[in-house]
Amino acid sequence: MQRQHPQSCSRGCLLSVPHTGQFCARVLRRQLLLAVRRPIEIGNPLLFFAIVIVLFPLGLGPSPERLVSFAPGVLWITALLSNLLTSDAVFRSDFDDGSLEQLILAPQPLFFSALAYILAHWLTTGLLLAAVSPVFALMLNLPVSALGALFVSLLLGTAVLSLLGGIGAALTVGLKRGGILISLLILPLYMPVLIFGTAAVQAAMTGAPSGPYLAILGAMLSLAIALAPLAIATGLKVSIDA
């Protein structure tokens, strides 16, 4: 019996190791639970978004024609900056408590684990920003016909922003003051998303089809899903080893 015991223990240990899908689901659930327990991290980007949108008419004046001409750019720039505010914290807490190193040493592919982190970040920032954007868009006199394009463009665009922000977060997670460096690294990558996201809303405002711009955002998202987790995984390994 003593000779068979190590084998049974070995089998039990192998059976207890979750497969990649289960592991990523647990990582996603953990990140969402941590976000719910720290509501200030969810509320900060939403509060920043609301403050900028509310203050913007005070600077330009209450003229509806003037507000609507700037509305697509204002909404998208504010959403971009709100997303950028939280990018530095994607891996920061796990790096500080050492769990990020354990994640890298786990047998599951780091590609999918990084994707779970980014999905949790998008659910707690980008999705919420897209959900509340129509309300603030009406404050800027954006036509109702353009609200759908605004919502879809933000859904797609903020997902790309989260993936790109994850690259910057992975590369700077070992630095004490990585927030400014993240901005320098990934803001140039944000520009195409901003351009096509704003163009989609402007096209809907003028009655032109916004589908081509949304298709480009979808293509960017597909490319980012395929490549960004690889860059994030590499950046995390470099940051941990440094």
CA distance 122 to 161: 9
> Does 88 fall in a domain?
yes
CA distance 80 to 111: 25
> Does 6 fall in a domain?
no
> Does 13 fall in a domain?
no
What is residue 12's predicted lDDT score, i.e. its pLDDT?
A: 41
> Does 45 fall in a domain?
yes
pLDDT tens sequence across 126-156: 999 999 999 999 888 899 999 999 999 999 9
> Does 130 fall in a domain?
yes
Q: Which residue has the higher pLDDT, 152 or 239?
A: 152
Q: Which residue has the higher pLDDT, 97 or 167?
A: 167
pTM score, whole prediction: 0.87
Helices (H), 106-210: 110-124, 126-139, 147-172, 179-206
> Does 79 fall in a domain?
yes
**How large a percentage of the chain has pLDDT more than 70?**
90
> Does 14 fall in a domain?
no
Count Cβ atoms below 10 Å from residue 143 Cβ, excluding itself: 15
> Does 2 fall in a domain?
no
Q: Read off the pLDDT of each residue in 93-112 and give the average, rounded to a whole number.
A: 85
Could you give phi then psi for residue 103, rounded to 5 degrees?
-65, -40
Q: Is the pLDDT of residue 77 over 90?
A: yes
CA distance 36 to 56: 30
CA distance 219 to 12: 44
pLDDT tens sequence across 177-236: 666 778 788 889 999 999 999 999 999 999 899 999 999 999 999 999 999 999 999 988
Name the least confident of 25-39, 88-102, 133-147: 88-102
The total domain count for the chain is: 1
Q: Which domain holds residue 150?
A: 20-241
What is residue 13's predicted lDDT score, i.e. its pLDDT?
A: 43
CA distance 166 to 143: 33
DSSP letter, residue 1? -
Hunting for tokens 């200030």 — which residue is that?
Answer: 40
Tokens of 161: 């922003």
Mean pLDDT of the chain: 85
